[in-house]
Structure formats: structure tokens, C-alpha cells
């Protein structure tokens, strides 16, 4: 199977060599490895220029233009039928490519994206172990296509660096969207999930590094806002595409609702007909009545507002999750 591994890096001198070595030392060694230096100003260029392996193609750009643009450019050049992502600060287990290739070749289904289980590691930062275990549990619990689909409109069900995906499906889905700077992978998986299945090798094959300077950690509120925008966009495009402008009840804390009105609602084609941050049971009952009486098409619940309780309550009334009840990320807590 023709395989291309892709890494984009910007000022990644601290962890880059370890990431590269984890690919060059793979037990499956028939691949090309495209590494894109996105205008780094540290010693990244020198690290890349020392590589002698003929499987590696290094591309240096003079200016930083972001991971999305560089990923799309690298995949345009890729000779492989399947693209494997390796983030520049993470580590792949030595059998990662081999086991993902075997899974794809033995599958009886139309797989578009294949991730793996993962574990969290740290750099020099002192990161709370509870947080690391929570991240591992979240991603590794989403171990079937059904569970991934259940989660895909709320958050990102795959650790980006673990994935292999069909290049054909990638281009058919429209590539990474440059409108997103952080949650671009979540956006892509939703679109690729409309083309084929998204599955995982049920084995830890990747180490995901958590540190305070990473893009998502530095900009957590912005990350959540991008994820909410993506959720609302695909609620509109995939579920309510027959509606002129779908109407929703919005439930959340006052702070979360305010953030939604400022940073999300002006940029999505949805209408909020009622919102509340009041008592939970009253809010859930009110939301249900709005939908039953055809004053609203569905309910949006911002996390941090007893979302599990409200989802279960509305489901007990006959409403359906990811059909007319949706949970959205919230970075304001």
C-alpha cells in the first residue's frame, strides 16, 4: 500500500527530532515522509537539513502561514494513496503504520479515516495527571464508528496525529478548511465521515504531548469557539438543510450564552428564539414545549449547564440526540 506520512512544523526544535525518529524507525518502512517547515525561526531548519534518509522530503517555506495551508500543500504533493499524520511534537509507536495498514487492508468496510488509541505525555511543563487521564479516556472510549458519530458534532473524536486517511476521500471532502486555525481536524472528520467510515485501531499506538505552549492550550476559548462554529455549521448543512433558517432554544450559563451571541451567532445561519440560564428543570421543560409547539426546530445546550441531565430529559420526551438535541463546547468556564 502506498503511504505518505506528513508533518508540518513551526518552531518545533524542542520535540521535533523525537517525532521524526519515531517515523523513521517504523517497522513498516515503505513510505515517503514529507516534512514541511512553515517558516520556523528557531533551529528547526538545521534539524531538518541534517536528515539523510532518502524516504524524507523536506520543504522549507520562508514565512509562517499556518498548519492548514501547509498540510493541504503537502498532501497535494503526496504520492501515497493513504496519508498518515505525524504531529511534530508527538511520538508514534514503532508498529503504528504497520498496524494501521493491516487494519485498512483487512477491513470489509469503506474506511475513510482510521485513528488509533493514544496516551498522553508531557514535555517540561508540570501537567495535572487527572487531566492527562481524562483526555486519554475521552479519545480511547470513542472506539467504534457509532460512538465517533455520536460525538462528532460536539467535539473532535480523533487525536489528529493518530490518523491515516484516504487521499481520495480527503480531496472529495474538500481538504482542510483554511477558515479554521485550531479545530480544522474536527471540521474535516465531519465531512469525511459523510464519505466513508471513521474507525480506530483499538490499541495505543501514539503518544500525544500536552504542554502549555501548544496552540489549543494557549487558545482554549478560541478553540471552543471554532468547535461551536463547526457544530452549528454542520447542524445547518447536514441536518436542517431543508429549512429556510432553523430556529433553536439555547440553554447555558449567562456567560456562555453571552459568548455564543457575540462570537458564534453572527457567523452561522441559525436563529435563537429563546435562551435561558435559569433553573435547569424549568429550562429543559420550556425547551421541550418550544419544540413540541413548533416554535423551535431543536435545542442547543452549552456545556457547563447540566448538559447530560438535559439531554437525557429531552430524550425521555422523545427527542433525539444529534437530530434535534445538540451539545456544544463552551470555553468560558
Judgement on whether residues 224 and 214 belong to the same structural domain of the protein: no
Residue 142 has pLDDT above 70, yes or no: yes
The angle that helices 254-263 and 220-234 make with each other, rounded to 10 degrees, is 70
Judgement on whether residues 193 and 240 belong to the same structural domain of the protein: no
Query: Is 301 part of a structural domain of the chain?
Result: yes
Judgement on whether residues 51 and 180 belong to the same structural domain of the protein: yes
For 131-143, b/e burial (b = at least 16 CB within 10 A) is ebeebbeebbebb
| 321 close to 298: Cβ distance less than 8 angstroms | no
Written as one string, the DSSP assignment of 212-229 is TTSHHHHTHHHHHHHHHH
Judgement on whether residues 175 and 232 belong to the same structural domain of the protein: no
Judgement on whether residues 101 and 188 belong to the same structural domain of the protein: yes
Short-list 60, 160, 168, CA closest to 111: 168
Predicted pLDDT at 200: 98
C-alpha triplet 214, 217, 221: angle, nearest 5°: 140
Cell output for 283: 429550562
Residue where a domain stops, chosen among 218, 233, 255: 218
Helix (H) or strand (E) holding 3: strand 3-9
Residue 126 has pLDDT above 90, yes or no: no
SS3 44: helix
Predicted pLDDT at 217: 58
CATH number at 43 reads 3.90.550.10
Query: Is 333 part of a structural domain of the chain?
Result: no
Q: For the CA atoms of 215, 219, 225, 228, what is the dihedral angle to 10 degrees? A: 50
Domain that holds residue 268: 220-328
Cell output for 59: 520543504
Cell output for 104: 485498512
Residue where a domain stops, chosen among 218, 246, 281: 218
Judgement on whether residues 230 and 134 belong to the same structural domain of the protein: no
Judgement on whether residues 7 and 78 belong to the same structural domain of the protein: yes
CA–CA distance from 146 to each of 91, 124, 200 (Å)?
Answer: 28, 37, 11
Predicted pLDDT at 218: 63
Question: What tens digit of pLDDT does each residue of 215-268 get?
Answer: 555 678 999 999 999 999 999 999 999 989 999 999 999 999 999 999 999 999
Residue 331 has pLDDT above 80, yes or no: no
Predicted pLDDT at 211: 77
C-alpha triplet 112, 138, 71: angle, nearest 5°: 45
Mean pLDDT calculated for residue range 144-154: 96
Residues belonging to the chain: 333
Residue where a domain stops, chosen among 161, 193, 218: 218
For residue 321, the 8-state DSSP code is B
Residue indicated by cell numbers 457567523: 267
Please list, in sequence order, all residues whose beta carbon lies within 8 angstroms of the beta carbon of residue 132, skipping any fewer than 6 positions away. Answer: 120, 122, 210
How many Å apart are CA 99 and CA 166, to the nearest integer?
A: 16
Predicted pLDDT at 128: 80
Judgement on whether residues 202 and 225 belong to the same structural domain of the protein: no
The total domain count for the chain is 2
CATH number at 284 reads 3.40.1400.10
CA atoms within 13 A on the CB side of 186: 27
How many Å apart are CA 277 and CA 285, to the nearest integer?
A: 13
Judgement on whether residues 61 and 199 belong to the same structural domain of the protein: yes
The pTM for the full model equals 0.94
Judgement on whether residues 213 and 152 belong to the same structural domain of the protein: yes
Short-list 255, 249, 258, 260, CA closest to 286: 249
How many Å apart are CA 11 and CA 45, to the nearest integer?
A: 9
Q: For the CA atoms of 168, 174, 178, 182, what is the dihedral angle to 10 degrees? A: -70
How many Å apart are CA 138 and CA 48, to the nearest integer?
A: 34
What mean pLDDT is reported for the chain? 95
Judgement on whether residues 70 and 173 belong to the same structural domain of the protein: yes
Written as one string, the DSSP assignment of 129-153 is HHHHHHHHHHHHH--SHHHHHHHTT
Query: Is 51 part of a structural domain of the chain?
Result: yes
How many CB atoms sit inside 10 A of residue 28's CB? 17
Judgement on whether residues 210 and 232 belong to the same structural domain of the protein: no
Question: What tens digit of pLDDT does each residue of 39-92 get?
Answer: 999 999 999 999 999 999 999 999 999 999 999 999 999 999 999 999 999 999
Short-list 139, 132, 92, 91, CA closest to 117: 139
Q: Measured on CA atoms in the order 274, 280, 285, 288, is the torsion positive or negative?
A: positive
Amino acid at each position: 500500500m502506498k503511504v505518505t506520512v506528513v508533518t508540518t512544523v513551526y518552531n518545533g526544535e524542542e520535540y521535533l527530532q523525537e517525532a521524526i525518529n519515531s517515523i523513521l524507525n517504523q517497522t513498516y518502512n515503505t513510505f515517503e515522509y514529507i516534512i514541511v517547515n512553515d517558516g520556523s525561526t528557531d533551529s528547526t531548519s538545521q534539524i531538518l537539513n541534517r536528515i539523510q534518509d532518502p524516504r524524507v522530503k523536506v520543504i522549507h517555506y520562508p514565512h509562517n502561514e499556518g498548519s492548514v495551508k501547509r498540510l493541504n500543500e503537502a498532501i497535494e504533493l503526496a504520492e501515497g494513496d493513504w496519508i498518515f499524520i505525524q504531529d511534530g511534537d508527538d511520538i508514534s509507536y514503532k508498529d503504528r503504520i504497520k498496524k494501521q495498514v493491516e487494519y485498512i487492508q483487512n477491513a470489509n468496510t469503506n474506511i475513510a479515516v482510521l485513528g488509533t488509541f493514544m496516551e498522553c505525555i508531557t514535555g517540561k511543563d508540570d501537567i495535572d495527571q487527572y487531566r492527562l487521564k481524562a483526555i486519554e479516556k475521552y479519545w480511547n472510549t470513542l472506539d467504534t464508528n457509532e460512538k465517533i458519530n455520536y460525538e462528532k458534532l460536539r467535539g473532535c473524536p480523533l487525536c489528529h496525529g493518530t490518523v491515516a486517511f484516504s487521499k481520495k476521500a480527503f480531496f472529495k471532502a474538500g481538504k482542510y478548511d483554511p477558515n479554521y486555525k485550531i479545530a480544522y481536524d474536527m471540521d474535516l472528520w465531519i465531512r469525511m465521515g459523510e464519505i466513508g467510515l471513521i474507525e480506530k485501531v483499538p490499541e495505543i499506538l501514539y503518544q500525544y504531548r500536552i504542554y502549555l505552549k501548544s496552540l489549543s492550550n494557549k487558545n482554549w476559548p478560541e478553540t471552543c469557539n471554532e468547535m461551536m462554529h463547526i457544530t452549528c455549521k454542520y447542524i445547518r448543512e447536514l441536518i436542517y438543510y431543508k429549512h429556510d433558517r432553523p430556529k433553536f432554544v439555547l440553554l447555558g450559563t449567562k456567560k456562555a450564552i453571552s459568548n455564543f451571541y457575540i462570537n458564534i451567532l453572527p457567523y452561522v445561519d441559525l436563529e435563537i428564539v429563546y435562551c435561558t440560564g435559569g433553573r435547569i428543570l424549568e429550562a429543559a421543560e420550556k425547551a421541550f414545549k418550544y419544540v413540541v409547539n413548533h416554535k423551535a426546530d431543536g435545542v442547543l445546550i452549552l456545556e457547563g449547564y447540566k448538559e447530560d441531565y438535559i439531554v437525557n430529559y429531552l430524550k425521555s420526551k422523545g427527542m433525539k440526540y444529534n437530530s434535534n438535541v445538540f451539545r456544544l463546547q463552551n470555553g468560558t468556564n
